Amino acid sequence: MADAASPVRDVTPVAAGVMAPAGFQSAALHAGIKTATGALDLAIIAADKTASAAGIFTSNLVQAAPIVVSRRHLAASEGRARAIVVNSGCANACTGHRGLTDAERMTAETAAALDTTPEHVLVASTGVIGVNLKMEKVVPAIGNAVAALAPGKGDEVARAIMTTDLAPKEHAVTVQTARGAFTVGGTAKGAGMIEPNMATMLGFLTTDAAVPSAILQRALKESARETFNAITVDGDTSTNDCVLVLASGACGVTIDEELYPALLDGLLAVSRELAIAIVRGGEGATKLVTIHVRGARTRDEAHRVAKTIANSPLVKTAIHGADPNWGRIVAAAGRSGVMFDVERTTVRVGGVLLFEDGLPHDQNAPLAARHLNGTDVVIEVDLGPGGSGCTVWTCDLSAEYVRINGEYRT
């Protein structure tokens, strides 16, 4: 146990996902947005009372109506929110004035049912771009969802936000500090059009710690840099990407600057599991690929190299075929725009040295190929004498990815 002067944390996984923290209720149901009979497609996460809130949003210049509305509401409320309403099956993106009106109405209907103001409701959508919401189905579903709010339904929320995801994604941890324990929970969706670049993936996090909005925003942004913004499936930044977090304060632990590292540890632990689950479940993915880049001059340069490697179709297809083609890795690093000396660069796959001092070690290729035949692949690139590095997660590129996306709207 940490002493009273130390914020040193003990982070322990717990069950219940986004509903693990105290002070929240949720509900999910079939509104009829998805055509599959009974498929959950609308969910509400509600705090028992108005909570601190924060969000990070897509950097895509084409932003869906719910992104625009949630940004406005967070600004108008100065980082306070009572609920998040989310639908799947329709992105409500590129839908003009009607789309904005529909997103606003979703918040207004949720607010009325919860006896709060629309500015205290955030909204998110995911699905096909360029299609209008079926508001004649969404509006009554919102009322029914609010009436069904209850603790312990995080697994239903996780299923309600899925589109091409193969499985729901949720995780939660309890963080023990010298002042007591608090819990962080979360759920996310995403399988394709994944390179969040935030600031089609959605992430929702909750905590029962009391957190000032400014601190919550800072912690969310910092944790996302190493998790949600360190993943890529296909290099495509969605129109709808967002991660939202609510802090209920129900556990009695207040986060200040001293306990900020504890909050960050909790958000990192949950977000990392969700981010990796997104990549592992990427469209057509058969392998989770972890790329470590070291020896860069700055962390941002390491990140740029890692993302360029991770997004290379040639690298990703070589990994799918278990081909230890180090040349594709080096070539991708070389076009990243980062300056480094190839004569001082090394490449390892599964710990097997394939390239060093400007020369190949092709005699090691069979060992590396054996590693690539597994489902968890590790690539290490050392750029030389620099002191900075980062880790990025991606997946292989298979024919199944092409099939899924070739048939997405048909």
Q: pLDDT tens, 1-42?
A: 333 334 456 999 999 999 999 999 999 999 999 988 899 999
Q: How does DSSP assign 258-318, residue by residue?
A: TTHHHHHHHHHHHHHHHHHHHHHT-TT---EEEEEEEEESSHHHHHHHHHHHHH-HHHHHH
pLDDT over 50 at 182, yes or no: yes
Residues 303 and 177 in one domain: no
Q: pLDDT-based confidence at 193, cuts 50/70/90?
A: low
Provide the number of structural domains found in the chain. Answer: 2
Rounded to 5°, angle at Cα 135 from 131 and 140:
145
Domain that residue 311 falls in: 288-406
Residue 5 domain-assigned?
Answer: no
pTM of the model: 0.93
Q: What value does the mean pLDDT of the chain take?
A: 94
Q: What is the mean pLDDT of residues 160-186?
A: 96
The answer on 168 and 146 residing in a single domain is yes
pLDDT grade for 351, boundaries at 50, 70 and 90: very high
pLDDT at 407 over 90: no
Of 318, 309, 313, the residue nearest 369 (C-alpha): 318
User: pLDDT digit string (tens) for 307-342?
Assistant: 999 999 999 999 999 999 999 999 999 999 999 999
- Check whether residue 253 and residue 340 sit in a common domain: no
Residues 199 and 313 in one domain: no
pLDDT the model gives residue 343: 96
Active site residues: 200
pLDDT tens per residue across span 88-118: 999 999 999 999 999 999 999 999 999 999 9
Residue 146 three-state SS: helix
pLDDT of residue 200: 58
- Kindly state whether residue 98 falls inside one of the protein's structural domains: yes
Across 132-136, 187-191, 212-216, least confident range: 187-191
DSSP line for 148-192:
T-BTT-HHHHHHHT-SS-SS-EEEEEEEEETTEEEEEEEEEE-SS
Mean pLDDT is lowest, of 103-117, 141-155, 210-224, 396-410, for: 396-410
Tens of pLDDT, residues 251-272: 999 999 999 999 999 999 999 9
Q: Which of 249, 279, 309 is the last residue of a domain?
A: 279
pLDDT-derived band at 408, boundaries 50, 70, 90: low
332 and 270 in a single domain? The answer is no
